[in-house]
Structure formats: C-alpha cells, structure tokens
Amino acid sequence: MKSIYLVGFMGSGKSTVGRQLAKRLSCAFIDTDVEIEYIQNKTIKEIFADEGEEAFRAYEYQVLKDSPFEGHVISTGGGIIEQSVNREWLKGKKVIYLKASWSTIYHRLKHDENRPIWQDNTRDKEKLLQEREVKYLEVAMYVVETDRMQTEKIVDHILSLMNE
Ligand code: S3P
C-alpha cells in the first residue's frame, strides 16, 4: 500500500482520523508534528518560541521528505502546504484533504494553547484558512468534508475512496 497523507487546517482532525485509519488498515501511523518534537526533543511551542517559524518549517520539510512512501498513514501539520517544495512533493501521492469549516475549527480550538499560529493574535486565522484552502486543494487527490461527521464515519468514507 502506498502511504496515505492527511492534510488540512489545525483542528480538522488529521491526527485523530489518521490514528483510526491506520488501525483499520493495520498499518503504522506517523504524525509529522510528533516526529519533529521527537527529533528536536522540544515541543512545537518551544521550537517556535526559541527558533521561530522558519526553523520549524525547515524541520517539517525534512520530516516530510524522509517519510516512508509505503505502508503508512501520515498526518501532517496544518501549515505543511505553505512551502512550495512540500506541495510539489505531495502532488501525485495519496493525499486526503480533511476539510472543515471555520466555525468547526474555531469551536474545536478556541481553548487551545499549544498551537503557536493559533495563539498569534497578529494573524487572522479565518483569512489564513481561506488562503490555505487553495493550497490544500492543489495537493489533494481526495477531499473529505468533516463537518458534523464522527471520526468513524470519516474513516469509513476514506476507506471506501481507497477501494474505488
Ligand atoms: C501549524 C499547525 C500545527 C503545527 C504547528 C504549525 C500551522 O499542526 O504543525 O503548530 O501552521 O497550521 P496541526 O495542524 O496538527 O495543529
């Protein structure tokens, strides 16, 4: 099986869906954020605070390009599509965009304190979602709408797409 990549905005459910999907496919699961934290031995929050976003994006690129082509479900950070090298790398692979509306994302993340971009009050996150949408669509082989959908149903839907 070729690896499956999940992309989407923060709070779109990539990690939760990814973990369940991997379980159903009996394959391994990788979360690029967890991988970065492990390699750098720091939380994402610490990396952003100590080294800045640019350093984080460089680590993210390394993890993506070293990710296994086969046998994995790989959940990516919401900003992975910001770099054109990453978009080029993802194109043509089994990429699923988990699409969530602004209101779903906002309700899920309103109390979140661990995502530096979400915490950054100088950034308009709703606008960021709109800007990124184009980039998610650019790399996606499939788009899965996740609003008001239970994880299990999302996973069922992805599995049916994979069997087509
Ligand atoms: C980011 C999303 C985060 C994480 C980092 C930056 C972003 O991942 O990679 O905080 O730029 O949207 P999640 O999408 O898993 O929250």
Contact indicator for 12, 141 with CB cutoff of 8 Å: no
For residue 54, give both structure tokens: 């640019």
Sheet holding 142-145, edge to edge: 28-31, 72-75, 4-7, 94-99, 142-145
The minimum-distance atom of ligand 1 relative to the CA of 31 is 15
Question: What's the one-letter identity of residue 62?
Answer: Q
User: Ligand 1: does its nearest atom lie under 6 Å from the Cβ of 34?
Assistant: no
pTM over 0.85: yes
Domains and CATH numbers, the chain: 4-162 (3.40.50.300)
pLDDT in tens, 9-52: 999 999 999 999 999 999 999 999 999 999 999 999 999 999 99
Q: How many residues make up the chain in this entry?
A: 164
Question: Position of tokens 């790398």?
Answer: 89
Distance 164 CA to ligand 1 centre (A): 30
